[in-house]
Structure 1
């Protein structure tokens, strides 16, 4: 990353200048201290500059996406990828954002390469990637992705439930129970996890309704089920007004 290289280069230069000027054998520690200060200062300044430039692109892009101006929003997000070489994790976070937009819009094939290059601590997009692997019959990759997501985000209820749901879908119900049990141990007061653990142990289908819209974005429910849930959230069927 350019930030690290520039900061390290400045630190080395300062170390050599201070050490050689003061006497390397006696005062090398002064050079090392000065180099550390310069490295941290340079790194923080460059990080701040890059962050501000990213915010100037990302905030309007996300507003466009929320307003369903998807093409413009995605185009702006892609333009921000040029900062990926400057700051660690920037490129992966932008790829996660782009992949999520395509996935939510059900453009799964386009979303896939972006999700693959996404940020491992973004549990939502990691979940979307794992679901994609499941649908492509890549069960080992699915499990690997979920396990990596749980390492990065160990206290997210829906992530445990999603993992267990997918395991149950591929016929690994026992493993699904183990994942839910692990989730309960991490989140002992979570009723959704407890309920679904009992349902799986009884050989019944998991109930994901408690997770609301967050669950629906993974597109594992049929469109008919989604519509019923949305109608229920709006208070059932609309009343017919008779004149």
Structure 2
């Protein structure tokens, strides 16, 4: 990483320069060298951060612009009493095209990798989130596997794909890390997802125990009701539908009464999380 190399070179130059001009003070010269090293790193990282924020902001603006365009188009079609699968397919197609266009913007991060090792991971995390949104799961998987988890939605995406690929041990590990990191209401989606997975795996007793824990750690009525249903043998009434779009955006289930829906609002997982 160039930042580290430049910092080390700066420290060496400062130390030898001061030692030559002010001999006999190795401690102070060393302190000055360390300050030089840290100062260079700070300046470079601030510049890289600004550049990354500009790129991510461009991605967000591109998607929000398309969302606004689609919102107007949907309203127009609804006013004309038009809808159905064909319109839904049209909306999804335009959303996918817009997201692929936004993903191309992330290529601008490539030159920054030599300055900041995390730059590529931040961009790849966002890339994985966007590919997941347009259901290009095969392409999203390698990015989500190595994603920087800064929010529960990104973790839920990763857990979903691990489950779909039959990696239950990794799902459990991801869940345990998630509930240690995300507390209170931030853990609701994670508990809901993992309990759903346990039910699908016919591990109902474990799901009951999990939801008993969840209802004491969150205020979610959905989790509470699901615990009551499972604890009383009402397996068919178990449902995460009450979480709304947050749940359906994982594409594990579809609403019972499908209607034209826009993609889950961009930015929750990725844009606000990078620092």
What TM-score do you get using the length of structure 2 for normalisation?
0.70
Structure 1 60/87 Cα, relative in aligned 2: closer, same or farther at 3 Å? same
1:57 aligns with 2:89: no
Equivalent of 2:253 in 221, 226, 238 = 221
Q: Deviations over 1:60-115 (max 9, x none)?
A: 22222331322210111233244234224322221121111111111111111121
> What residue number does 2:241 align with?
209
Equivalent of 2:195 in 164, 168, 187 = 164
> What residue number does 2:37 align with?
39
> What residue number does 1:148 align with?
177
Please list, as runs of the form range in 1=range in 2, the aligned pairs for 1:91-102 lying within 5 A after superposition: 91-102=120-131
- C-alpha distance in 2 between matches for 1:226 and 1:78: 39
Where relative contact order (Cα < 8 A, 6+ residues apart) is larger, the structure is: 2
- Which shifted more, 42-51 or 13-22? 13-22
- C-alpha distance in 2 between matches for 1:176 and 1:53: 45
- Which shifted more, 82-91 or 48-57? 82-91
> What residue number does 1:196 align with?
226
| Partner SS, residue 52 of structure 1 | helix
1:117: how far off? 2.2
Q: Deviations over 1:27-71 (max 9, x none)?
A: 333133323322332222111111221222221222223313222
Q: Deviations over 1:150-183 (max 9, x none)?
A: 3443441212221222222222233334443444
| Partner SS, residue 113 of structure 2 | helix
Please list, as runs of the form range in 1=range in 2, the aligned pairs for 1:1-243 lying within 5 A after superposition: 1-19=1-19, 21-23=21-23, 27-66=25-64, 67=66, 68=95, 69-155=98-184, 156=186, 157-187=188-218, 189-203=219-233, 204=235, 205-222=237-254, 224-225=255-256, 227=258
> What residue number does 2:80 align with?
none
1:16: how far off? 4.5
Q: Deviations over 1:218-237 (max 9, x none)?
A: 01113x5261696xxxxxxx
What TM-score do you get using the length of structure 1 for normalisation?
0.78
Structure 1 148/21 Cα, relative in aligned 2: closer, same or farther at 3 Å? farther
Structure 1 171/15 Cα, relative in aligned 2: closer, same or farther at 3 Å? farther
- Aligned length, in residue pairs: 226
Structure 1 10/176 Cα, relative in aligned 2: closer, same or farther at 3 Å? farther
Superposed CA RMSD: 2.7
- C-alpha distance in 1 between matches for 2:36 and 2:212: 48
| Partner SS, residue 207 of structure 1 | coil
